[in-house]
A and B are shown apart, each in its own frame.
Chain A
Amino acid sequence: MSDMQPAIDVQGVTKRFGRFKAVHDITFSVPEGQVVGFVGANGAGKTTTISMLMGFISVSEGNISVAGQHVSTGRAHKVHRSIGYAAGDMELPGGLTGEQYLDFLLSQSQGDHTETTAMLLKRFKPQLNKKIRNLSRGNKQKIALVAAFATDPDVIVLDEPTSGLDPVMQETFLDYVRELSKQGKTVFMSSHYLQEVTEVCDRIMLMSHGQIVQDLMKEELLKNSGKHVVIRTGYVHTKPPRGAESVESSETDDVTTLRFVYKGDVELLQRWLAGIKKLQDVEVSEYNLEGAFSSLYEAETGENEEGES
């Protein structure tokens, strides 16, 4: 890979399935060595984007290149020499044991990766002697992760990589991603666990309805963090405090609901809350990526994350 070329370059990519546009004109590039978290609600287009990055599916419009090579369904194997891939719903060949699968995987790649594989096996401790179809979800996922990292690739693409892993293994995985980051590897990772994304990623991209709606570096995100406030009051003329952002107001059955983001002085917010007439309910939460994601999720589905309307 040349120094000038991004590790991942996505230019004006659209993906249609019949009339349905799953991904709509997205453009981004990921420089070498960056760890990117790719988040969004179910159906936002994350897996479709990753499938295009991997060359499993074709792009309807636009161009993708990974590790300096153009990605297409027919030539994806050339790019795969530089990519490690694992997905939460990945189905490994059930008729093979973990050991046989890793043997098969290593025989497809160039170079000797015995040391790296041994180190990964020591860390992730997958069960290797049983047929994969007889393993638990977590154990299958451990093998998938070892397989993704074993060939020491320059770019690692992960789609919900920690689903099925227990908390200890999740931490082992996050530690390893941190190490990869230090080694200058590029990691592109979709996840539903926002905490893990914020912990290890340098940059976070939020996808919604097939488009990238937020693309922030971690520092920007931390700078922009604040409080997400929701109040319910019987007094219809309630106004938000000075400095409130992203204000939304709704009224049902004489109850006014006010939502906003507040990044100012917490004492001023408390004073403002104390002055509200007919206050019925107050919810204050940290506004960070999780907050942004929750707001967007609610806006899209009309439900909160617990599934309440």
Chain B
Amino acid sequence: MMSSVFTKTLHEKRFFLIGWTLGFAAIAALLASFYPAMHQDGAIDSLLANMPPAFKGLIGNLGDLSQFDTYIASQLFDIRVPLIAGIMAIILGLGLSVSDEEKGELRTILSLPVSRSKVFIQKWLAMLLIMIMIVIGMAAGIYVVLPFIDIPAEISIEHMALLSGMTLLVMVTFGTIPFAIGLATGKRAAATGVAILTIIGSFILSTFGQAVDWLADFEKLSLLHYFPAVDIVKSGVELSDISVFGVITSVLLVIGIICFRRRDVA
């Protein structure tokens, strides 16, 4: 039974959830299954050592390919997954905010005895749960492939939890940007514009920042800077990195709710 905006949203987004979970699981499984091919007794490592920094930046932090966990961190969680996850999150955030309003369905929900704050929070919680399921699916995709890899390959639950957790934070932050701006303003252009600018800006700063001197100074402005996947496997998560995502998301949520409670809904 659909007893809340939360369950209603999950019901409406069930195909989105299934599709993206399968997609992420497939990407993760595919990249994990490539591990033996990339594992060349350190040959690729030495090749990469001579690679120009700009190229390294474009294909992500490659780390040490001889270990499965750093391979997964560099090939899956560094740039690729955050970027795809960010795009998915933006699509979801827009769908739950401005798309519902443009269709007129938001007004219908607001004609019921349910507060705007509740609508905002329950939609966001549904978005969060969808993202958690997708991240779990992605992690499962890796573990499903592991038994079929014919060379030693393992990643500890702890490392996987850290990488998945940080992926979730990236998703939530990228999703909250269009979601909060969309509900706060009702303007698709503003919500899409800021979200796209953030993700493209982050991608450019994180990839070209390593090669272009003047961009390097701005690299910290990239959200992807706070998800150093290989470093996380090697030395754990920095609290300051978590805080960046936490603060951005919290501020957006608070401002979003305040503005949504006050504004006109078309």
A108 touches B112 (CB 8 A): yes
- Residue from the list B1, B107, B115 in contact with A91, Cβ < 8 A: B107
CA A161 – CA B257 in complex, angstroms?
Answer: 31
B108 touches A104 (CB 8 A): no
A228 nearest CB across to chain B (Å): 38
B112 touches A96 (CB 8 A): no
A107 touches B1 (CB 8 A): yes
Number of A-B contacts defined by CB within 8 Å: 84
Chain B residues numbered 82-130 whose CB sits less than 8 Å from any CB in chain A:
103-105, 107-116, 118
CA A165 – CA B35 in complex, angstroms?
Answer: 63
Q: Which residues of A contact B108 (CB under 8 A)?
A: 90-93
B8 touches A104 (CB 8 A): yes
A interface residues, how many (CB within 8 angstroms): 31
- Residue from the list A54, A73, A107 in contact with B2, Cβ < 8 A: A107
B2 touches A91 (CB 8 A): no
A86-122 CB mask vs B (1 if < 8 Å, else 0) is 0001111111100010011101110000000000000
Q: Which residues of A contact B234 (CB under 8 A)?
A: none
Q: Known contacts A56-B264, A95-B11; is A80 also within 8 Å of B111 by CB?
A: yes
Q: Known contacts A74-B116, A76-B110, A93-B12; is A100 also within 8 Å of B104 by CB?
A: no
- Residue from the list A56, A73, A89, A105 in contact with B112, Cβ < 8 A: A105
Q: Which residues of B contact A279 (CB under 8 A)?
A: none
A60 nearest CB across to chain B (Å): 10
CB of B263 within 8 Å of the partner chain: yes
A104 touches B3 (CB 8 A): yes
CA A89 – CA B103 in complex, angstroms?
Answer: 11
Q: Which residues of B contact A92 (CB under 8 A)?
A: 105, 108
Closest to A85 in B: B111
CA A56 – CA B107 in complex, angstroms?
Answer: 7
- Residue from the list B111, B114, B263 in contact with A73, Cβ < 8 A: B263
CA A285 – CA B111 in complex, angstroms?
Answer: 40
A96 touches B2 (CB 8 A): yes
A161 nearest CB across to chain B (Å): 13
CA A38 – CA B8 in complex, angstroms?
Answer: 34
B113 touches A109 (CB 8 A): yes
Q: Which residues of A contact B113 (CB under 8 A)?
A: 77-78, 80-81, 108-109
B262 touches A74 (CB 8 A): yes
CA A81 – CA B262 in complex, angstroms?
Answer: 20
B265 touches A56 (CB 8 A): yes
CA A91 – CA B265 in complex, angstroms?
Answer: 14
CB of A57 within 8 Å of the partner chain: yes
A98 nearest CB across to chain B (Å): 12
Q: Known contacts A91-B104, A96-B8; is A57 also within 8 Å of B264 by CB?
A: yes
B103 touches A94 (CB 8 A): yes
Binding site for B on A (CB under 8 A): 51, 54-58, 73-78, 80-81, 83, 85, 89-96, 100, 103-105, 107-109
Leading 6 A-B pairs by shortest Cβ distance: A91-B104, A57-B264, A74-B261, A107-B3, A80-B113, A77-B115
What would 15 A/B residue contacts be, using CB atoms closer than 8 Å?
Answer: A56-B107, A57-B265, A58-B262, A73-B261, A73-B264, A74-B115, A74-B261, A77-B116, A78-B113, A80-B111, A83-B111, A91-B103, A96-B11, A108-B112, A108-B113
